[in-house]
Amino acid sequence: MFYDPRSDEHGLPHNPWTALVTPRPIGWISSRDADGTPNLAPYSFFNAVAGRPPMVMFSSTPRKHSLNNIEATGEFAVNVATWDLREAMNLSSATVEADIDEFRLTGLTTAPCRNIGAPRVAESPISIECTLYQAIPLVPKSGLECSTTLVIGEVVGIHIADAAINEGRVDTTRIRPLARLGYMDYSVTDSVFEMLRPNPDVALAEARRKGWIDAAG
Ligand SMILES: Cc1cc2nc3c(=O)[nH]c(=O)nc-3n(C[C@H](O)[C@H](O)[C@H](O)COP(=O)(O)O)c2cc1C
């Protein structure tokens, strides 16, 4: 099947879009409002977008408390949602009033950040402290209506639980991070495999041997 989201209907009973780019990591965003009330919510339109220096992004549709807080204070933390924390992560997505502290709603514990004032999730093995780099309202060239704001964060602090480190490397199977699939589906990373980057000379020689590229190619 093919459809053009600018004009075509997909023709399926449910919008397939969120099932197409998967698994999406979940940025569990902690922030606080101008009065200091903590806020916590999961965002799966989320990713790391740069490494040196590290930067992250997530998007809010429409404007929500996290975005309001981040614009008001200029900072937020990203916490990794794990298999063990799945119920709390889901509960923290409940649409509640701004004055409700989702840490208390979910029974989670706040831990202080070092370089920002927003709290982090004490139970999470990884927390990433960020300052707001830019909040960009998306305006599609197609003219389609859009209420999405892209939030880009510059990383200013990184917490890694000692228990997540094995022989000097962060062990993803110890963290068991959750990821979002389509619809109401999730996945959890329980196993990993390693694959080294190709040696270009070996890759070219192999492709020539198989006849995929000619000798001059
Ligand atoms: C796994 C998961 C991923 C979510 N991803 C997003 C997202 O990428 N963007 C968004 O606007 N809302 C997303 N939501 C919904 C928000 O978490 C929800 O609207 C929440 O109440 C927002 O809280 P806030 O107003 O405190 O920021 C997601 C919910 C769940 C459970």
In Å, how far are 207, 215, 216 from 201, measured between CA atoms? Answer: 10, 13, 13
Report yes or no: 190 and 173 within 8 Å, Cβ to Cβ.
yes
What's the CA-to-centroid distance between 174 and ligand 1, angstroms? 25
Distance from C-alpha of 28 to C-alpha of 43, rounded to nearest angstrom? 6
Q: Is the pTM of this model over 0.85?
A: yes
- Give ligand 1 pocket residues (Cβ under 6 A): 26, 39, 41-45, 59-61, 64-66, 90, 93, 95, 180
Instruction: Report the alpha-carbon angle 90-95-100, nearest 5.
Output: 95
Name the 3-class secondary structure at 13. Answer: coil
Count Cα atoms within 13 angstroms, Cβ side, for 48.
Answer: 11
Distance from C-alpha of 45 to C-alpha of 41, rounded to nearest angstrom? 12
Instruction: Return the ligand 1 atom nearest residue 94 CA.
Output: 21
Distance from C-alpha of 27 to C-alpha of 30, rounded to nearest angstrom? 9
Least confident of 45-59, 155-169, 203-217: 203-217
Report yes or no: 111 and 126 within 8 Å, Cβ to Cβ.
no
Q: What was the pLDDT predicted at 217?
A: 64
pLDDT tens readout for residues 196-208:
999 999 999 999 9
> What class is the 17-209 domain?
mainly beta
User: Domain-by-domain residue ranges, the chain?
Assistant: 17-209
pLDDT tens readout for residues 100-114:
999 999 999 999 999
Distance from C-alpha of 41 to C-alpha of 26, rounded to nearest angstrom? 10
Taking alpha carbons only, the member of 110, 103, 121 closest to residue 159 is: 121
